[in-house]
Amino acid sequence: MAMLPILHYPDPRLRNPALPVAGVDEAIRQLLDDMLETMYAAPGIGLAAPQVNVSKRVIVVDISDERNAPLYFVNPEITLRTGVEEMEEGCLSVPTIYEPVQRAARIQVRALGRDGQAYEMAADGLLAVCIQHEVDHLDGKLFVDYLSELKRRRIRRKLDKQRRKTL
Ligand code: ZN
């Protein structure tokens, strides 16, 4: 396994729509394992391949406290969204920023698993929010896109300042 570097907003590579995966082979399984290791180390509860500069429709998620219940989504498709929920979100690509975002409260998602088998699951609460956030990444969308332009400008300034401090 290997740790992968995470791209940070406003890196334009985060905006490229990711391409569907033909099937789950050894290379995709390796990518899933590397992404999971990277997500656990960050630490985060979800990671999408475009965040590690891989333009593929691949996501890993683990919202468990024990960090031992990974979920794998290859070519995920949200087939149903119902209700509205507002939760404070963060993102490994937008470090230290947390803002409330409105999303569907319940979803139905279809994907291929790590074994390459198609499956479908229902999700609500934090898991539903997390999956929607990660699927957005596959379409080049970030949670800050749901905020006002004024807020986004403030966030970019704050992140700029942080970067200058670490240089
Ligand atoms: Zn994110």
For residue 69, pLDDT over 90 is answered with: yes
Whose tokens are 């993102």? That residue is 91
Which single residue is written with the structure tokens 């937008």?
Answer: 94
The confidence score (pLDDT) of residue 164 equals: 87
How many whole angstroms from 91 Cα to the centroid of ligand 1? Answer: 4
| Annotated catalytic residue within 66, 99, 120, 134 | 134
Which pLDDT does position 85 carry in this prediction?
96
Report the first-to-last Cα separation within the chain, whole angstroms. 28
Between CA 108 and CA 121 the distance in angstroms is 6
Distance 141 CA to ligand 1 centre (A): 9
Amino acid at 33: D
* Tokens found for residue 141: 């969308």
Cα separation, 113 vs 23, whole angstroms: 10
Angstrom distance (rounded) from CA 161 to CA 167 = 10
Give percent above pLDDT 90 in the chain: 95
Active site residue 134: yes
| Residues within 5 A (CB) of ion ligand 1 | 91
Q: What pLDDT was estimated at residue 74?
A: 98
136 confidence band (pLDDT: 50, 70, 90) = very high
Q: Are strands 58-61 and 71-82 parallel, antiparallel or unpaired?
A: antiparallel
